[in-house]
Structure 1
Amino acid sequence: MKKWLLLAAAILLEVTATLSLRAAMDNPAWYPLVIAGYVGSFYSLSRVLRAGMGLGVAYGFWGACGVALTALLASALFGDALTVPMGVGVVLVVAGVLCVEFGLQAAQAREPRAEGGAR
């Protein structure tokens, strides 16, 4: 559970930083939040990896959720375009990450676990 909370924090910090970067185009006062958000996001992502989540899964969820949330919020906050093909693309990215996660779970279920071994 801790891994997923840290991953959620990394995602939210990255989305905040990216949206702040867009806001900083009009008002440079947003740049400190941009920097803090990206630093915090990468720190949280590193904690997720230290907690034992696989890199492919962590990065995949981080990237896919970041893309989806940023696209939706940029449309709502800044009036950025969000067309049907863009929505389909976001859904495909998220679906691809879910396929990676389910594939990893299936592979782990098939392999014997070594006692005390690193993963």
Structure 2
Amino acid sequence: MPYVLLALAILFEVTATLSLRASEGLSKLGPSVVVVLGYLVSFALMAKALTSLNVGPVYAIWSALGTVGAFIGGVLLFDEPVRPLTIAGAVIVVVGVVVMNLGGGVSHG
């Protein structure tokens, strides 16, 4: 169950981040509301997941998959450019999370 909460937290965080772009500097009400609610729900879900998972690896997973999700969403929704260095950076982020999890695991107790 904590992994489901974490996955949902990532989904809400990516949605909020993409809505931040769509809000045009928080000047559009609809996307701005999605930003605030998305981050609130994301943090609440991650807080609940952290009751049984270790904070370091969980935060690494949340931020890395959020970064990759925002990158992909930006490309698909906003026609943002895809460059080889950007792809390499996303791969490095994901590899870093994998290495971090191999070193410490995510369950506490």
* Shared fold (TM-score, shorter chain, > 0.5): yes
Match of 1:3?
A: 2
Match of 2:18?
A: 19
Contact kept, 8 Å, 1:57 with 1:100, in 2: the verdict is yes
Match of 1:77?
A: 77
Letter in 2 for 1:14: E
Match of 1:92?
A: 92
Alignment pair present for 1:53 and 2:50: no
Letter in 2 for 1:62: W
Q: CA deviation at 1:3?
A: 1.0
Runs of 4+ aligned residues of structure 1 deviating over 4 Å after TM superposition are: none
TM-score for both structures, normalised by structure 1: 0.84
Deviates more, 1:73-82 or 1:62-71: 73-82
CA displacement 1:87-109 (0-9 Å, x = unmatched): 0100000000000101114xx9x
Match of 2:30?
A: 29
Match of 1:112?
A: none
Aligned partners of 2:43, 2:30: CA distance in 1, in Å?
22
Q: CA deviation at 1:58?
A: 0.6
TM-score for both structures, normalised by structure 2: 0.91
Higher-Rg structure is 1
When the two chains are superposed, the root-mean-square deviation of aligned CA atoms in Å is 1.6
Aligned partners of 2:92, 2:101: CA distance in 1, in Å?
14
Letter in 2 for 1:58: V
Which runs of 5 or more residues in structure 2 are unaligned? none
- Please give the secondary structure, in 2, of the residue aligned with 1:82: coil
Contact kept, 8 Å, 1:72 with 1:82, in 2: the verdict is no
Q: CA deviation at 1:27?
A: 3.2
